[in-house]
Amino acid sequence: MSVTEKSVAILNASAPLSNANAKDSLDVALIFGSYEQTISLYFQADGVYQLIAEQQPELIQQKDFLKTFAALEFYDIENIYVCHHSLNQRGLAEKFSIENVQVLNQDDFAISLYQHQTILRF
Amino acid sequence: MITEVFFIISIVLVNVGHLVKNIAFVITTPPNSNLTATAINIVTSALAMNMSVVGVFFYQDGVLNGSQHVALPNDEYQAHQQWQLLHHKYNIPLHLCATAAEKRGLSDDINDKQTTNVHEAFILSGLGELVELNVKADRLVQL
């Protein structure tokens, strides 16, 4: 495989509003997307909260960067995976703010993630 | 300690399945974190194994390594100076994410470029540089 075909995965494991990880991660994803790199997003542990619909960050003085997730499809970022086990642990329904999210069991999530040549974690 | 670091690098090599010639790093921890000391040990080991370090990209709190004004107590590990040394000795490009840097008070155009508080060993770059490093390197390692 040539280096130009390297695929990138970003593993998101932080809650959306307690620190800047989610926002910093999304910025990286959009840049890789705009450079037409193959990129997939993975959400695990508290990271699954990032995709939950109807959040109101402005109530705690935060800018609503979560609505930027809706722009992912315009950057051709279409591989978005969520860990089913993490949702279950937190009692969260599969009610996401964007479409085309694939919920995977732990094994499939791990197997899919390790297909990538580069993994960044936030 | 160095043996342990070589072990970590070896794992990186085995995972790739072929020889890593070019390697790039993403650093997200500040100079006062011991995680940064570990990162520097890994970079140093990669160089000792004759890998070419094509660049280091500092993101999030990692950009604080590029400040001119870091002053750690004399008897503590001087992480910021180690980066400067690596740059001067091996000519490794040290990229600070410009947006992350500005959020943390680091800029090279204070008073319309009359002054800077970024150390001369570092350069302010866009996130696009991270994409470039990922393409250039056989392996991109985030620390």
What per-residue confidence (pLDDT) applies to A4? 53
Write down the CATH superfamily of domain B22-142.
DsrEFH-like (3.40.1260.10)
Question: What does the DSSP 8-state code read for residue B50?
Answer: T
What per-residue confidence (pLDDT) applies to A2? 45
- Distance between CA B97 and CA B80 in Å, rounded? 16
Taking all residues of chain A, what is their mean pLDDT, rounded to a whole number? Answer: 94
Residue A3: pLDDT band by 50, 70, 90 thresholds? very low
Instruction: Tell me if residue B105 is catalytic.
Output: no
Q: What is the pLDDT of residues A77-115, one digit of tens each?
A: 999 999 999 999 999 999 999 999 999 999 999 999 999
How do the domains of chain A map onto residue ranges?
8-121
Cα R_g (chain A), whole angstroms? 14
Q: Is some CB atom of chain A closer than 8 A to the CB atom of B52? A: no
Q: Residue B72 above 80 pLDDT?
A: yes
What per-residue confidence (pLDDT) applies to A1? 43
- Cα dihedral A11, A13, A15, A18, rounded to 10, equals -100
Retrieve residue A41's tokens: 């997003």
SS3 A32: helix
Of A24, A35, A119, the CB nearest to B131: A35
Q: Residue B12 above 80 pLDDT?
A: no
- In words, the CATH class of domain A8-121 is alpha beta
Of B59, B128, B134, the CB nearest to A8: B134
SS3 A36: coil
Nearest CA-CA partner of B45 in B99, B5, B102: B5
Q: Is some CB atom of chain A closer than 8 A to the CB atom of B141? A: no
Q: What is the pLDDT of residues A15-57, one digit of tens each?
A: 999 999 999 999 999 999 999 999 999 999 999 999 999 999 9
Asked if A27 and B136 come within 8 Å (Cβ–Cβ), the reply is no
How many residues would you count in chain B? 143
- Distance between CA B22 and CA B57 in Å, rounded? 14
Rounded to two decimals, the pTM is: 0.90
Taking all residues of chain B, what is their mean pLDDT, rounded to a whole number? Answer: 91
